[in-house]
Each structure stands twice: as structure tokens, then as C-alpha cells.
């Protein structure tokens, strides 16, 4: 299949959608991006690469980082992790407090903010002050790029304006579902969300989930096949917050979005894909990015359904 031709067709067809939606200006540093930007990358398991747009341009990965921290938490805790964070769709906004209180501080899944904060806390219990370095080193390894780092301006902006996330971590602390200092947990969480990567780097970083947990770059087993299946399942059912069902309906791939405008997705045993378009829909997912992935599965027939 000519993936390059498919990407070029998508880039042309997506143009009317690039002016729709709104950037995540509630994090002031994210409001300064080039609002009509677009990039899309595919890397297959033979490491063939296909790109269109600004595919080398770095952007804030935000909630895409939750895939990586959840992977690391599963490596360390396995099924024990599910005592502190569930694996069901939330049906509510990604930063909702209401459901969290009803359910005694146990987040529905690791891809809403509260759930990701718990997985970060679980890593802090093991790696202490080196936790962020551990997360960053994992991402550098799977993307085969030692230069990946975080955006200090985005990090500072989140620290200054992340009141809802501070409320989430303190509520969970009140239910004894946060083990470490809330300040350490939230600082590490904000820092992981402010990691900056390109669509080229992110598509490479997701290859292990397209390959049953094995990194095709060096054949390293990062996570066993069963756990890789669980991660992909959760991306399919929970990766787009309260629009996860709609994304599964339209795109039909395991995927994870971030309010920085990125979306990653995998076609099991074939490839990983990443798209970037910073304007978001009402649920906080890239509007043009979602449409681009819908076009991709329609043109290639590579939906899992």
C-alpha cells in the first residue's frame, strides 16, 4: 500500500477542518502555537517512514504521556495497579471531580487526569525523586532519540494554572489513594505532560504497542503481550475521554489524544501513526486530527473492525 500517497491525499482533504475548533488556551503556553498547523506520520514495523506536514516539529504531548506512564506502572505493579485505578470508560470530562467523589477517589481509568495522576504517584513510590528522569528515559529509549526533553514554559504554565488537577490530587489524597506528597505528584505529572515530541518521534514511540509489547527497533520486550493487549484495549475504550465511543465508531483504532493537539494510534501487527493539529473539539481532542485518522482508516481499510 502506498502510505505516502494516502497521507498526501489526507493532507489535501483535511484543509477545511484546520480552521475549526479551539486551541487549549486554558493552559496559556498552549495558546501560542501556530493554530492551523498540521502534521501526520506513519512508521511500520519494518521501520519504513511516511510523513506529511511539519512532522519534525515538536509539540506538547500532554495526555499522550499517560500511555507511557501507564505502561511503566503496569510493568511494576501488574494487576495490583487496578486496585487504585479502574479500566472502565468514564463518560465524563477528562478532569471531572464529580465521578471521582462518588467512587471514593478511585479513578475510572488511567487515561483521564485523575487516573494518570494515580499512575504517576505509583511510580513515585518506587523511583522517588528520579521518577521524571525514569519516565523521560523510557520515552527516549522507545523513540530512539536521546534528545527528547520537556517544555519548561508549558510546565510552568501548568503549575500556575492547573487548579483543577490540584483539586483532583487533593481529593484522591483525602481518600488515601495518593501515597506521596501531592506537590511532588502534581509537579511530576505536569512535567510529563509538558514533554515535547514530533509526530515522527511519537509514531516511533508507539511501535511497541503495535508489536505486542516488543520494540521493533531493537527487539527488546518492553511489556508482555497480554499487558500490551490491555493497554491497546484501554486506548480504544478510554483514550479520547467522553468522546472515546465516537472515536472508536469513526476511526476504529486504539488511540490516545492530548490537548496539545496530538493523537497517536496503532494498527496491531502493522504500524503506528501520529497526527498533529492543535485546534480541539469540545471534548478536548484534535478536531482535524480525528478527521484525518477517520480518512486514513477509510482509505486503507485498516480499522480493527
What residues are annotated to the active site? 63, 66, 189, 241, 259
> What count of residues does the chain have?
305
- According to DSSP, the β-strands at 214-215 and 220-221 are antiparallel
Q: Radius of gyration over alpha carbons of the chain, in Å?
A: 18
CA 182 to chain centre: 22
What is the number of other CB atoms lying within 10 angstroms of the CB of residue 174? 12
Q: What is the grid cell recorded at 33? A: 502555537
Task: State the Cα–Cα distance between residues 162 and 165, nearest whole angstrom.
Answer: 5
Q: Residue 39: beta bridge partners?
A: 53, 276
Give the separation between CA 79 and CA 214, rounded to whole angstroms: 20
Report the distance separating Cα 120 and Cα 129, nearest Å: 12
Amino acid at each position: 500500500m502506498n502510505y505516502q500517497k494516502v497521507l498526501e491525499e489526507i493532507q489535501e482533504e483535511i484543509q477545511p477542518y484546520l480552521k475549526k475548533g479551539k486551541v487549549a488556551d486554558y493552559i496559556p503556553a498552549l495558546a501560542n502555537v501556530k493554530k492551523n498547523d498540521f502534521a501526520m506520520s506513519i512508521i511500520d514495523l519494518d521501520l519504513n517512514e511516511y510523513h506529511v506536514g511539519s512532522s519534525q516539529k515538536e509539540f506538547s504531548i500532554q495526555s499522550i504521556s499517560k500511555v507511557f506512564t501507564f505502561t511503566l506502572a503496569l510493568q511494576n505493579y501488574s494487576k495490583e495497579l487496578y486496585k487504585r485505578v479502574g479500566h472502565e470508560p468514564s463518560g465524563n470530562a477528562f478532569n471531572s471531580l464529580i465521578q471521582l467523589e462518588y467512587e471514593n477517589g478511585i479513578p475510572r481509568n488511567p487515561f483521564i487526569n485523575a487516573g494518570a495522576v494515580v499512575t504517576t504517584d505509583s511510580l513515585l513510590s518506587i523511583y522517588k525523586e528520579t521518577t521524571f528522569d525514569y519516565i523521560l528515559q523510557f520515552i527516549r529509549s522507545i523513540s530512539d532519540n536521546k534528545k527528547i526533553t520537556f517544555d519548561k514554559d508549558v510546565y510552568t504554565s501548568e503549575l500556575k494554572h492547573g487548579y483543577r488537577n490540584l483539586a483532583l490530587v487533593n481529593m484522591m489524597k483525602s481518600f488515601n489513594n495518593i501515597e506521596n506528597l501531592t506537590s511532588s505528584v502534581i509537579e511530576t505529572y505536569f512535567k510529563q505532560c509538558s514533554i515535547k515530541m514530533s509526530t515522527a518521534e511519537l509514531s516511533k514511540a508507539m511501535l511497541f504497542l503495535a508489536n505486542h509489547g516488543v520494540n521493533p527497533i531493537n527487539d527488546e520486550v518492553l511489556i508482555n503481550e497480554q499487558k500490551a493487549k490491555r493497554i491497546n484495549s484501554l486506548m480504544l475504550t478510554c483514550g479520547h475521554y467522553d468522546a472515546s465511543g465516537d472515536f472508536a465508531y469513526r476511526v476504529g483504532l486504539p488511540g490516545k489524544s492530548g490537548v496539545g493537539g496530538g493523537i497517536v494510534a496503532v494498527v496491531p501487527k502493522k504500524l503506528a501513526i501520529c497526527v498533529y493539529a492543535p485546534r480541539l473539539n469540545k471534548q478536548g481532542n484534535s478536531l482535524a486530527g480525528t478527521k484525518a485518522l477517520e480518512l486514513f482508516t477509510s482509505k486503507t481499510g485498516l480499522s480493527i473492525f
